[in-house]
Amino acid sequence: MNILTTILDIGTTLLRLLEAEGRILKRAVMNLGWALACVGIAFVLVLVAAGFFLAGIYQYLAAQISPAAASLLVSLLAFVLAVIFAGIAKWRTTDPK
């Protein structure tokens, strides 16, 4: 009987530990979900801001030069910025050996 009681005590202790860890895990998952939602919203807002910024540059250039040339210049600016940010991302994620 002594071995059976010890096994049951270990089992109940393990279940109590899992219950406590489950609450902590649930809280951590909820915090992660909220953080990811906030990052997603920030990402969308940055994209909208960049779009309005490029549209403003286009409007300014279209008033100064032809709309076709303004469109080409703004798209070139957007492409250069995309290449710069992609290069920074590649540089930051490269494994330093």
d(CA 84, CA 78): 10
Q: Tell me, what amino acid is at 74? A: V
Question: How far out from the chain centre does Cα 59 lie?
Answer: 31
Q: Averaged over 35-54, what is the pLDDT?
A: 86
Give 95's pLDDT tier (boundaries 50, 70, 90). Answer: low
Q: 62, exposed or middle or buried, with CB in 10 Å at 0-12, 13-18, 19+?
A: middle
Close Cβ partners of 78 (under 8 Å, ≥ 6 residues apart): 54
Which pLDDT score is estimated for 15?
Answer: 73
The pTM of this model reads 0.57
Which pLDDT score is estimated for 96?
Answer: 65
Q: Averaged over 41-56, what is the pLDDT?
A: 87
Domain spans, the chain: 2-93
